[in-house]
Amino acid sequence: MFKYDVYINSLADLPEEKEIKLSVRDLTPGKQRYAYKHVMAKVSADADKYPDKLQVRFGRGQIHSQPYSIQVMKEVSIIPERWL
């Protein structure tokens, strides 16, 4: 099980049950802890729906009281293909 967090301005920026592009921070203990990843993922307000946990934070770092769950579909590159 992995644990991530995401910064958003409002909960409307985090639609549930849809595949969306997010920048998440990995909170799983290890060498990659606190590393940001750009991913395509599905999120849910039900903390048990998906295998990984997601902590939602608002713009100034306030933590949302309800934990979410996340399923990372794939990591995506933010660099355009033509530049690689």
pLDDT for res 11: 93
Q: What is the pTM of this model?
A: 0.87
Q: Where are the domains of the chain?
A: 3-77
Token pair recorded at residue 30: 């290890």
Residue 3: pLDDT band (50, 70, 90) is: very high
pLDDT digits (tens, 9 = 90+) for 23-68: 999 998 988 889 999 999 999 999 999 999 999 999 888 999 999 9
pLDDT for res 80: 83
The dihedrals phi and psi of 7, each to the nearest 5 degrees, come to: -100, 130
pLDDT for res 57: 96
pLDDT for res 5: 95
